[in-house]
Chain A
Amino acid sequence: MSDKREKLMESEELYRTLVQTLSDPVVVIDVDGRIRRANKRIADLYGTENYNGVLGRQGLRFVAVGDRRKVVEKLREVFEKKATAVVEFGFVGPDRQLRDHVRDVEMSVSPIRDNTGEITSFIGVMRDISERRRLEEEIRIRQEAIESSIGAIIMADLQGKLKQANWSFLNLFGYNEEKEVLGKGFESFWTRKIPSNKIIETVHSEGMWRGELVGINQNNGEFFVDASISIILDVKDEPIGIVGFFNDITERKQTQEKMREASKMAALGEFVTGAAHEINNPIAIISGNAQYLLTKFDLKTMKETGSREFKKMKESLEMINKHSLRCGEITRKLLAFARGGEETAIKPVKLNSILNDVLSMVEHQLELSEITVRKQFGRLPLVEVDPSQMNQVFMNLILNAQQAMRKGGKLTIKTEAIDHNQVQVEVIDTGQGIPEQNLGRVFEPFFTTRQPGEGTGLGLAVTYSIIKAHGGDIKLKSKPGDGTKVMIELPVSTEP
């Protein structure tokens, strides 16, 4: 054996040992892409003892199909640049039974050159990065979970400076991009009334804080959130940051508020109903007796009928009667007002015929006040309402119009289907109108500009509560001197 040959053998031996002892999987591939050598570690990649199976086979066979082109290009690059390069790919084991056994590997490929400097093969040292990949994927999913959460989530450093904010948080506060909030202090997101530094202190001392906060968005709008803020600990239980979770509860708060309001109204309604009944009975007796005496007086044909004394007595009785009936009028409207928020006897009706009914009831009065009536009735679908309450609504509006046109005028009643689930009724007069400063008050209970004894100021309050109870809306437009227009919108069906 020549020296040279011996040397070669020696280096060959060294080379083999080296390859075998490396703790990472190693392959040697010739320029045709065939695997010439491999160490035992290769077997670890696909989970069998037998690694000889790979020898002599095409290296690409062990590369996941989708990664093959990438690997080939990398090898070409190594070949051309004669320098080490790194490529990642999915390693597929040779065993058909273990076909799905794909590992993520990172391979650093170096060229091997002969004496002449020509590249004869490549050596690839691989590292199984499946675990790292899995962790990366896990982190990515966690990030994604935070990002997709409906609840607003932020991460901050120990001082409360924002380091991360999810989409919900940005959306809640009216930001478009995360970078707009990064670095901002925790306190800058809440109204000044909230002692934010106290909250951070509590988080530090107790590990968490829970409560309601009032947030301020980019447009200075306020909203309510339910907040849970807690400390983030590292593996050694050292605090490393703060995480906050916020739920928008504005809507919930508003409904609660409305429900409180509604139950207050219901309680008030019950009270008013009871009181009105208690009052109506004695008033009925008072006025009934006055009327009895008045009739008696009228039937008397004695000569004192003409006397002053007699007239005054009669007048007193008339006053008793008139004002008892006035009390009755008030309690009646109070009852109607209270009933606005109550269960109603709803059924499908023709709104136009209700209007006709009401108009025929006041026809005579309108004529006497020299008011001409113009009806512009559109084709309406049946509307689900409480007919007696609607009667009252239109009666109130028409009487108001009449009272505003003391010297005569024109009353226009317009009905129209706005769309398939909404109708509109307009009551328009050419009366004195409502001065600007009163416009905001006309719906208030007991607001009236009429002479004492003439109006209770409950007409529009009742009307409003009835329309609202029907899920509708009422608006008023007026110009002093020109007249007033009342617009009512009603849903065709009370079913939402």
Chain B
Amino acid sequence: MTEKKILIIDDEEDFVKMLTRNLELHGYDVEGCTTARQALNRVKNNLYDIVLVDFKMPKMDADVLIEKIQEMCPACEFIILTGFSVDGKVQAILETNPKVCACLQKPFEIKDLVSEIEKGSRR
């Protein structure tokens, strides 16, 4: 099995760094970025299996960002990470977009995230 390629998008650099380390430790090929623009650039030039996206990105809402990424990379799967609760808006995305596999509330346990990543790519 080839290792999964993951993109982390979160405006907080330390968060990206922390998560990158953790996921690398679990054997994933991880890249991180802190703006929506960087993210779109990355997606243009690379193929990712899974994108982890902070729900509240400055300048662009996660649902818009997800759609834009999907246009370029229809096979991509997504996991939403949020500092808020899983409210109606997130719930709606989860229900309507089959490529959005899960939403995790921050803080979370890395093992839970890993299991979502594994589940996600099996679907």
Which positions in A face B, CB cutoff 8 Å? 273, 276-278, 280-281, 283-289, 291-292, 295-296, 299, 324-325, 327-328, 332, 335-336, 339, 342-345, 386, 388
Residue from A292, A332, A335 within 8 A of B110 (CB atoms): A292
Q: Is the CB of A332 within 8 A of B83?
A: no
For the A-B complex with A284-B106, A345-B92 known, give 11 more contacts whose Cβ atoms are closer than 8 Å: A276-B84, A283-B107, A285-B15, A288-B107, A291-B110, A295-B22, A295-B110, A325-B109, A328-B107, A332-B105, A336-B85
Shortest Cβ gap from A9 to chain B (Å): 111
User: Which residues of chain B are near A332, meaning CB under 8 Å?
Assistant: 85, 105
Q: Is the CB of A288 within 8 A of B84?
A: no
Contact mask B75-117 → A, CB, 8 Å, 1/0? 0000001011111100110000000000001111110000000
**Separation of A295 and B14 alpha carbons in the complex (Å):** 18
**Separation of A343 and B109 alpha carbons in the complex (Å):** 29
Contact mask B1-44 → A, CB, 8 Å, 1/0? 00000000000101100110110011000000000000000000
Q: Is the CB of B85 within 8 A of A335?
A: yes
Residue from A283, A335, A345 within 8 A of B88 (CB atoms): A345
Contact mask B54-68 → A, CB, 8 Å, 1/0? 001000000000000
10 residue pairs of the A-B complex, CB under 8 angstroms, read A284-B108, A285-B12, A285-B18, A288-B107, A291-B22, A292-B18, A299-B25, A327-B107, A345-B88, A388-B91
**CB-nearest residue of chain B to A286:** B107
Q: Is the CB of B83 within 8 A of A281?
A: yes
Q: Is the CB of B85 within 8 A of A292?
A: no
Q: Is the CB of B105 within 8 A of A328?
A: yes
Q: Is the CB of B88 within 8 A of A281?
A: no
**CB-nearest residue of chain B to A279:** B83
Shortest Cβ gap from B121 to chain A (Å): 21
User: Which residues of chain A are near B86, meaning CB under 8 Å?
Assistant: 388
**Separation of A465 and B49 alpha carbons in the complex (Å):** 40
Q: Is the CB of A292 within 8 A of B25?
A: yes
Residue from A273, A295, A299, A345 within 8 A of B84 (CB atoms): A273
Which positions in B face A, CB cutoff 8 Å? 12, 14-15, 18-19, 21-22, 25-26, 56, 81, 83-88, 91-92, 105-110
**Separation of A399 and B87 alpha carbons in the complex (Å):** 22
User: Which residues of chain B are near A335, meaning CB under 8 Å?
Assistant: 84-85
User: Which residues of chain A are near B26, meaning CB under 8 Å?
Assistant: 295
**Separation of A342 and B84 alpha carbons in the complex (Å):** 14
Q: Quick one: given A292-B22, A292-B25, are A284 and B88 in contact (CB under 8 Å)? A: no
Shortest Cβ gap from A292 to chain B (Å): 5
**CB-nearest residue of chain B to A291:** B110
Q: Which of A292, A295, A335 has the largest number of chain B CB atoms within 10 A?
A: A292
User: Which residues of chain A are near B25, meaning CB under 8 Å?
Assistant: 292, 295-296, 299
**Separation of A343 and B92 alpha carbons in the complex (Å):** 14
User: Which residues of chain A are near B109, meaning CB under 8 Å?
Assistant: 287, 291, 325
Q: Is the CB of B87 within 8 A of A339?
A: yes
**CB-nearest residue of chain B to A281:** B83
Residue from A292, A324, A342 within 8 A of B107 (CB atoms): A324
**Separation of A328 and B108 alpha carbons in the complex (Å):** 8
Shortest Cβ gap from A447 to chain B (Å): 22
User: Which residues of chain B are near A289, meaning CB under 8 Å?
Assistant: 18, 21
Q: Is the CB of A280 within 8 A of B83?
A: yes
User: Which residues of chain A are near B87, meaning CB under 8 Å?
Assistant: 339, 342, 345
User: Which residues of chain B are near A277, meaning CB under 8 Å?
Assistant: 56, 83-84
Q: Is the CB of A288 within 8 A of B18?
A: yes
Shortest Cβ gap from A285 to chain B (Å): 5
**Separation of A292 and B110 alpha carbons in the complex (Å):** 8
Shortest Cβ gap from B8 to chain A (Å): 11
**CB-nearest residue of chain A to B55:** A277
**CB-nearest residue of chain A to B104:** A284
Shortest Cβ gap from A264 to chain B (Å): 21
**Separation of A295 and B111 alpha carbons in the complex (Å):** 10
User: Which residues of chain B are near A276, meaning CB under 8 Å?
Assistant: 83-84
Shortest Cβ gap from B119 to chain A (Å): 15
Q: Is the CB of B18 within 8 A of A280?
A: no
**CB-nearest residue of chain A to B113:** A288
